[in-house]
Amino acid sequence: MRVMIADDNPETLQRLATTLRAVRGVTLGTCTGDLSATYHAAESRPPQAVMIAERLTRLPEFEVMQKLFQALGIRCVVVADGDAPQARLASRLDGSGIRVTHLDASPEEVRQCLLELLLDRSTAVEPPDGPAPCDMAFQPGRLILIGASTGGVDALIRVLSGFPANCPPTLIVQHTSGTFSAGLARLLDRRTSAHVTEAEDGIALEPGKILIAPGKDHHLELARAGSLRGRLRAEPPRSGHRPSVDALFQSAVPVAARVSAAILTGMGRDGAAGMAALRNAGAHTIGQDQASSLVYGMPRAAHEIGAVAIQLPLEEIGPALLQSCIRRSAA
């Protein structure tokens, strides 16, 4: 069993490394000091588990990294500073597929924790959702726009898993740390028949291409430059975010009749105003329903102002987006 360590304190990192070297059947992998380095090292050579200092789990990026690890089948052990924090952490993380240990745990205690984690089937990576979808006939010029935040990694995997290799050009804003957007694109690319990549300024919008808003320095928008293209704009945050779902949705209002847009699970109101403008201009708009949303914030805000034409459970959103873009026969 190969185990990585993520700890921003060199002293405690060394203590954990010493303990792991004494655990039977365990090989010490890469040791890192921040979540971004941890994810990229784990993605390039996935370990069976990662031991993460409690301090790093308090960072907002941990939620995204945890979801990415779950999708890759990598387990997590959170290392508390003592017994009292361990009990508190165990209560907070109950049911999340994460185990908790403490800094002074013996090699045998760590071994038992790792074994329990590896034997927990609830943490196993989910298999792909059936065979790859067949190509479909879509109306020329159709576009799909998606906005998501908290819980969005899982939601995007579900939505995009049914997209065929010739899906309409799709642009996505997912609120996350800029250091994780490239990893998210690679993860999603493995879970869909279409090609997922980070957007670049001036990138062409082509069938079968899904673009993820990169980093936290630019908004992803639509721009006309002879033909429609993706544009990155270094402007202030909108609705508290950069990239912003509102910025993407608002930029598509001039071509709203060609757009199908969905707003998925997330905290706050980003995307609500932009989706309302899209719907008023003729776009087809979908909101994730409350029952299937991890956080029913963004979808609720959009629904309450009349921006959502229809609310659907998560499993129906991908097929609904594609169906709205399918080429209609002359009859």
- Residue 283 CA to residue 257 CA, distance in Å, equals 5
Catalytic residue status for 270: yes
- Taking the domains of the chain in order of start, what are their residue ranges? 2-123, 143-325
Is 11's pLDDT higher than 60? yes
Evaluate whether 299 touches 290 at the Cβ level (below 8 Å): yes
The CA angle 198-203-205, to the nearest 5 degrees, is 95
The CATH-assigned architecture of domain 143-325 is 3-Layer(aba) Sandwich (3.40)
Among 190-194, 280-284, 297-301, the minimum mean pLDDT is found in 190-194
Residue 90 binned pLDDT confidence (cut-offs 50, 70, 90)? low
Structural Rg of the chain based on CA atoms: 21
Evaluate whether 314 touches 281 at the Cβ level (below 8 Å): no
Catalytic residue among 7, 102, 149, 241: 149
Q: Which two tokens stand for residue 96?
A: 């999340």
Evaluate whether 288 touches 314 at the Cβ level (below 8 Å): yes
For residue 235, count other CB atoms closer than 10 A to its CB.
11
Is 16's pLDDT higher than 50? yes
Catalytic residue among 270, 284, 303, 324: 270
**pTM score, two decimals?**
0.84
For residue 5, count other CB atoms closer than 10 A to its CB.
26
- Residue 201 CA to residue 195 CA, distance in Å, equals 18
Catalytic residue status for 289: no
Residue range 169-210, pLDDT digits in tens: 999 999 987 678 888 998 899 899 999 999 999 999 999 999
**pLDDT at site 66:** 84
Catalytic residue among 175, 219, 241, 284: 175
Mean pLDDT of all residues in the chain? 89
Catalytic residue status for 195: no
- Residue 35 CA to residue 214 CA, distance in Å, equals 17
Evaluate whether 192 touches 142 at the Cβ level (below 8 Å): no
Q: For domain 2-123, give its CATH number from 3.40.50.620, 3.40.50.2300, 3.40.50.2000, 3.20.20.80.
A: 3.40.50.2300
Is 59's pLDDT higher than 90? no
- Do 2-123 and 143-325 have matching folds? yes
**pLDDT at site 132:** 59
Give the mean model confidence (pLDDT) for residues 66-81. Answer: 87
For residue 204, count other CB atoms closer than 10 A to its CB.
12
**pLDDT at site 71:** 80
Is 327's pLDDT higher than 80? no
